């Protein structure tokens, strides 16, 4: 015979039943509050990410720009080694059509005697040049065309070296995935133009060896940086 359900409770039993209901409701409220807290935390994280993302990008770009400046300083050292062994002459900024001329090769390829091939490729690569592909015939930097045009030139013959641009960030030709060998030369829109790829500025190496980041000199078809 099944036991009958007792329909009445003692006062203490009622208290216990009421307490259990209250505890269950309290737990439900606590769970809802925890979900609200979670949503608040997610919203805060999203806000912080939106704030910190541009900061992180700027920090990465600053690192890329510093690496690019280091590349230009190293290139300056290699070019000075070249000049020391070539009667203070430096390679022509642009290629000479005369195949019998030493300047028929790109200036950066003529540095192979003074730097290992892989190291040359490395320092000719700007990390901010998005479409650039490193290679034996690639450069992210162009030489000032007006220093020698398509002929070798003598650095000692130029005054005010701290005002004379030697190399700079050059626009990458999307067909070549490389810049041209010269900048400032009248001509095509890709391989003859300075690239303001560092937050609206380009890195410039001057003939005295110092490097500046600026947008001021990008459109001047001359090699003096300031009047």
pLDDT digit string, tens, across residues 209-224: 999 999 877 555 444 4
d(CA 13, CA 3): 19
The predicted model gives 69-87 an average pLDDT of 96
The predicted model gives 143-164 an average pLDDT of 87
Q: Which residue has the higher pLDDT, 192 or 64?
A: 64
The predicted model gives 114-128 an average pLDDT of 93
d(CA 204, CA 215): 10
| Strand, coil or helix: 84 | helix
What does DSSP assign to residue 204?
A: E
Q: Which residue has the higher pLDDT, 13 or 116?
A: 116
Mean per-residue pLDDT over the chain, rounded:
79
Q: Give pTM, 2 decimals.
A: 0.71
- 30-44, 62-76, 87-101: least confidently modelled range: 30-44
The most confident of the ranges 18-27, 31-40, 125-134, 209-218 is: 125-134
Distance, CA of 219 to chain centre: 21
Phi, psi (degrees; rounded to nearest 5) at 105 = -100, 150
- 25-29, 150-154, 168-172, 198-202: least confidently modelled range: 25-29
Q: Please give the C-alpha separations between residue 9 and each of 14, 81, 197, 221, in angstroms, as whole numbers.
A: 6, 102, 82, 100
The pLDDT of residue 62 is: 82
């Amino acid at each position: 015979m099944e036991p009958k359900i007792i329909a009445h409770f003692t006062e203490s039993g009622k208290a216990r039943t009421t307490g259990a209901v209250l505890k269950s409701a309290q737990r439900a409220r606590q769970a809802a509050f925890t979900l609200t807290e979670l949503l608040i935390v997610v919203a805060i994280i999203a806000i912080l990410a939106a704030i910190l993302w541009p900061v992180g990008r700027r920090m990465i770009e600053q690192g890329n720009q510093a690496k690019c400046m280091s590349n230009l300083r190293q290139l300056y050292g290699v070019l000075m080694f070249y000049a020391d062994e070539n009667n203070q002459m430096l390679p022509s900024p642009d290629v000479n059509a005369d195949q019998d001329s030493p300047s028929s090769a790109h200036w950066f390829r003529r540095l192979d005697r003074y730097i290992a091939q892989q190291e040359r490729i490395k320092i000719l690569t700007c990390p901010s040049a998005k479409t650039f592909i490193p290679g034996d015939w690639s450069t992210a930097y162009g030489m000032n065309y007006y220093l020698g045009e398509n002929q070798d030139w003598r650095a000692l013959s130029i005054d005010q070296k701290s005002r004379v641009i030697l190399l700079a960030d050059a626009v990458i030709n999307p067909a070549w995935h490389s810049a041209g060998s010269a900048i400032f030369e009248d001509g095509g829109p890709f391989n003859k133009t300075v690239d303001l790829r560092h937050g609206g500025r380009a890195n410039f190496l001057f003939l005295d060896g110092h490097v500046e980041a600026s947008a001021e000199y990008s459109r001047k078809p001359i090699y003096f940086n300031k009047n």
